[in-house]
Amino acid sequence: MSKLECQCGNIISDDIYPSPSEGMIIREQDENFVFEGIAKSVAEFINAVAIGKREEWIESFFKKGYPKDLDDRSVVSDIISSYVVQRGISVTECDRCGKLFIQEQPGSNYYNPYSPDLGKGDAILKTPFND
């Protein structure tokens, strides 16, 4: 999504990162694929590093063109991202009326709107966690 017009007339844009109105949903039916896949791939990466086969593992997982000189933290972050992108669906929120738009499926450019029950409440997506 680049820009989306809400039914209230507001234009929702994701040109700022991180965006306070954007998020990802991992459906329960996809949790095993995502979390088990991440765990398996990170463990394989750790083992490859331990036996001196880091570059070979990176090329087999990410294919050609992926930079092999990234630090391990960046590689692990990209492993996680690869699974979330494959199965995560995007959600965006109108900052004017609170309507949520949920992507129909990963990679789709179609979003379904969902309205809050009691008019405009506090924004759900931009509320920070209390760490």
Beta-strand pair 89-93/22-25: antiparallel
Whether 57 maps to a domain, the answer reads yes
Task: Quote the pLDDT of residue 127.
Answer: 58
The total number of structural domains in the chain stands at 2
48-85: pLDDT as tens digits: 999 999 999 999 999 888 998 899 999 999 999 999 99
Is residue 90 within a helix (H) or strand (E), and if so which, with residue range? strand 89-93
Do 35 and 51 lie in a common domain? yes
Quote the DSSP letter at residue 119: S
Give the whole-angstrom CA distance, residue 94 versus residue 8. 9
Question: 33 and 83 share a domain?
Answer: yes
Q: How many CB atoms lie within 10 A of CB 98?
A: 21
Are 34 and 74 contained in the same domain?
yes
Residue 15, in any domain of the structure: yes
Domain range enclosing 42: 29-87
Q: Is residue 119 part of a domain?
A: no
- The answer, yes or no, to whether residue 38 has pLDDT greater than 80, is yes
pTM of the entire structure?
0.78
Residue that is last in its domain, among 50, 71, 87: 87
pLDDT over 90, % of the chain = 53
